[in-house]
Amino acid sequence: MTTKIFKRKSGRKPEEMRPISAKVGIIPNADGSAMYQSGETIAIAAVYGPKKMHPQHMQDPGKGVLRCTYSMLSFSVTDRIRPGPNRRSTEISKIIEWAIEPVLMIDKFPNTVIDVHINIIQADAGTRCAAINAAAMALASAGIPMKNMVSSIAAGKLDKTVVLDLDKYEDSEFEEGEGSTDIPMTFTDDGKLTHIQIDGNITKEQLKEAIEMAKKASKKIYEVQKKALKDTGEEK
């Protein structure tokens, strides 16, 4: 029996992610900042705070508030995006908060807010994962205590093949057979999931395979994040 070798348009193997890089300390005015790049997708994150939460009625005496603001800049895609918040950016901002909050020791900062502004300066799919990776590094570089680092990557399915890290073509234009399924995920450095979304259909067995593939890749991302933090002497 011959096994069909699945060929991705990018030439990547099913379990191959795009080239990644990371840098910490890119915005001197911020309390912490970082850049994370995956292929053609680039996210930059800047942390301001912890600072007193205003208005006062939004203060939590039990813990600080993590407030993430995700935006895709107008020129980040070829057909310019209308500037300003929209439904998608509001949803992704919340998802970034939920993915990071479990590792953040935010109870140490009652009545405060930690603002994280994430800008996508170039988008080729996987922007929420890049945003989470940049934001987590920026928070660590701001000296916010964290139980773990988090690393985010999508796996998914192209027709019947489980693949890692879908690019824009695979995410939005791939139409062969069963089409594509995109599953962004976030893992702690000890392998626990803090976030998973599923856009499309997938069987239980293939979902397990996709999670394992992403978990393995998250360890590689963690090493890159750790090195970027170490290079500035700001390792968590």
Name the residues that contact ligand ADP, by CB under 6 A.
Answer: 77, 79, 81, 88, 123-128, 168, 171-172
**How far is Cα 124 from Cα 166, in angstroms, rounded to an integer?**
9
Give min distance, CB of 57 to ligand ADP, in A.
Answer: 33
Give min distance, CB of 186 to ligand ADP, in A.
Answer: 12
Q: Based on CB atoms, which residue is closest to ligand ADP, 31 or 124?
A: 124
Give min distance, CB of 165 to ligand ADP, in A.
Answer: 10
Tell whether omega for the bond before 14 is within 30 degrees of 0, i.e. cis. Answer: no
Instruction: Tell me which amino acid residue 11 is.
Output: G
Q: Based on CB atoms, which residue is closest to ligand ADP, 137 or 153?
A: 153
Give min distance, CB of 23 to ligand ADP, in A.
Answer: 20
Tell whether omega for the bond before 184 is within 30 degrees of 0, i.e. cis. Answer: no
Q: Based on CB atoms, which residue is closest to ligand ADP, 40 or 107?
A: 40
Chain position carrying tokens 């970082």 = 34
**How far is Cα 59 from Cα 98, in angstroms, rounded to an integer?**
19
Give min distance, CB of 144 to ligand ADP, in A.
Answer: 24
Q: Based on CB atoms, which residue is closest to ligand ADP, 17 or 125?
A: 125
Strands (E), the chain: 20-24, 32-38, 41-52, 65-72, 112-122, 150-158, 161-164, 180-188, 193-196
Angle at 167 between CA 163 and CA 171, to 5 degrees: 80
Q: Based on CB atoms, which residue is closest to ligand ADP, 124 or 189?
A: 124
Give min distance, CB of 100 to ligand ADP, in A.
Answer: 15
Q: Based on CB atoms, which residue is closest to ligand ADP, 118 or 142?
A: 118
Indicate the residue whose CB is closest to ligand ADP: 127
Chain position carrying tokens 């209308």 = 82
